[in-house]
Amino acid sequence: MRTRFLLVLCLIPVLAQAAQVFVELQNPPAIAYWHEGRKGVQSLALARSQLAANQQEQEAFLAEVNRRGVRAQEIYRVSRLLNGVALEVPDESLEVLRSMPQVKALRLLRPKKPLLATAGPLVRAPQVWNRAYTGRGVRVGIIDTGVDYLHRDFGGPGSGYSSNDSTKLGDAPFPNAKVVGGWDFAGDNYDAGSDTPSKRTPKPDPDPMDCGGHGTHVAGIVAGFGVTKEGATFPGPFSLATPLADLAVAPGVAPEAQIYALKVFGCSGSTALVAQALEWAADPNGDGNFADHLDIVNLSLGSDWGSNDDPDAEAANNAARAGILVVAAAGNSGDTTFIVSSPAAATAALAVAAAVDSGAVVGAFEVLAPQNLAGSYPASEADFGPDLATLGDRQGLLAQPQPGEELGCEPFSPASAAALAGKIALINRGTCTFKRKVLNAQNAGAIGVLIVRQDDGDPFTMGNDTSITASITIPAQMTVLSVGQRLREYLSQGVQVRLTARYRNQFLYTNRAREDTVASFSSRGPRGDLVLKPDLTAPGESVFSAANGTGREGVSLSGTSMATPVVAGAAALLKQARPELAAWQLKALLMNGADPWLFGREKGQEPYHRVSRVGAGRVNVERSVSTPILLYASESPQAVSLSLGLLEAGQAASGQVKVANLTNR
């Protein structure tokens, strides 16, 4: 049993100017001696021997750090996928560490952040369920904020969240039939980017309960069972006949896959613990034998401007050597070249960009009159002011301010105030915060506000403006441009509307024109060295999945964080269908089977997005399961894509793509 140094320096508060670094030591990681295709006694013995040697090297290194008087706070150690120690040290000690003979490389840890039910049908998952491939027997690690295993979507009881002690096991049913294992590497108070030194030190425990909400949503997209409208766990069966429209929360893409909750975040903030969780995924029981590795890990996290030599990217590449398919989010920094995030930038990782689905589960408001306009229309609510579910419906005539005041960013003129008093104000989005608009309408005497988007994108929760301290006492909802335009056409006839919460997370808003367009927030490629990234695209805007701490409810969230688990779920279906394939072959099949056309503004209309910006296309798992042919770059199978790098004008380059027949016919 290895010892752990309680360094004297750990008892001394870390200086304000401190750096978090990964110190790579000279020995190779244990994975260097493991060969996925040759799991014999010799391979296992060599890997275990190297694991022991690495642990001894780390002990000796930390003893030397202590001897040299370096004030260091240990964050974690890894020996399997990387060989090194993550430390927090004063800036002035970096050169001391760099000069030590045991140190192979010293790299700054870049804290990763989380990258915030029609997705399944769009990627053709039900068609694959119909062939009895539901992810059964496939093990997926969710490296994230944890998982609320009490939620009905994961077979939990739907209660007990508030009374759960998140530092120990035994007071809640974990593991269960869905969330079969995991670990909390962080502790609830951990935040790698905190100004408080104590928060930058993780406090691991065995209970990976989610307190941030992100991981629960992600896990539901990958492999949730689904929740009925009565609030029970959906029992199946899973096929084309599954009544998706009649469920409160639809099943995940691979509803019978198993989940491992690997919690690397506290309740908020960032993390530097990704490599540690990847190492757990490669060797869950810690015995040095990689044969029990997880099949897939989902990384809906990252940091911009990713590179292949980021420590987490290197760990991802080595996890792939162990046989794990690493599926990672490309990032949410928009249409900027080279900004694709790490660890998605790892050559062997499957980097996922976000596209738009044709449908989103949102809320709605009602038009009561005139009769030819009556009905329910898509809408979202505000994250400030009274909750409509508590306040009750708010009904009234719709009115708009005077021309030139439609944005509502300044106090309304007397004429506009007279028009809005006692009515529901129709105001355009833009220029100022939602709360400012609602406050100005409230001061003008309005009894509610309906804000109109500038386009037909999905309605989203209107964020708070904490700089405004005035109390908001009237409710507000947001709708889309086409609805707002129609309402304005009928204002002279007297439009009666009802703001309501009764449709909350139950109204399906469909916009076919936006299907397969790339989400505006999705980070673009290629990688900084011109290697092709992202690799693949999946629906990631307004994806509906399990809501943390609610027991049985769902919520819509957007981000490459939501696109990534769609692909991880698709990979689980493919793994069940093709269990003999290696991780890189699964990656290749998912890319080979993608629908290639992704659009800039409207489905079927130019501009088309290039492979170098968003990858091979939108995932189509039915095609990937069915194809007998595998294509990949022969010189770099784990990359799959053929990248020619930076070429000078007039310079020629070539590469080879290998075509393999998977049927032997």
- Three-state secondary structure call for residue 128: helix
Handedness of CA 418, 423, 427, 431 (dihedral sign): positive
Cβ(477)–Cβ(379) below 8 Å: yes
Paired tokens of 92: 């002035």
Instruction: Answer yes or no: 609 catalytic.
Output: no
Cβ(313)–Cβ(346) below 8 Å: yes
The set of residues, in sequence order, having a beta carbon less than 8 Å from that of 641 and lying 6+ positions away, is: 531, 532, 535, 591, 611, 616, 633
Indicate which residue of 43, 79, 93, 144 is catalytic. 144
Paired tokens of 415: 């004429």
Cβ(416)–Cβ(401) below 8 Å: yes
Indicate which residue of 151, 214, 217, 293 is catalytic. 214
Paired tokens of 448: 């509610």
Instruction: Answer yes or no: 214 catalytic.
Output: yes
Identity of the amino acid at 452? V
Instruction: Answer yes or no: 561 catalytic.
Output: yes
Paired tokens of 229: 């409208």
Give the whole-angstrom CA distance, residue 164 versus residue 359: 35
Beta strand extents in 300-371 (DSSP E only) = 301-302, 325-329, 350-355, 359-369
Indicate which residue of 341, 542, 545, 561 is catalytic. 561
Cβ(122)–Cβ(357) below 8 Å: yes
Handedness of CA 315, 316, 320, 322 (dihedral sign): positive
Handedness of CA 212, 213, 216, 218 (dihedral sign): negative
Residue 276, sorted as left (phi over 0), alpha (psi -120 to 50) or beta, turns out to be: alpha
Residue 398's DSSP bridge partners are 424
Instruction: Note if the bond before 175 is cis, omega within 30 degrees.
Output: yes
Cβ(468)–Cβ(438) below 8 Å: no
**Which residues participate in catalysis according to the annotation?**
144, 214, 561
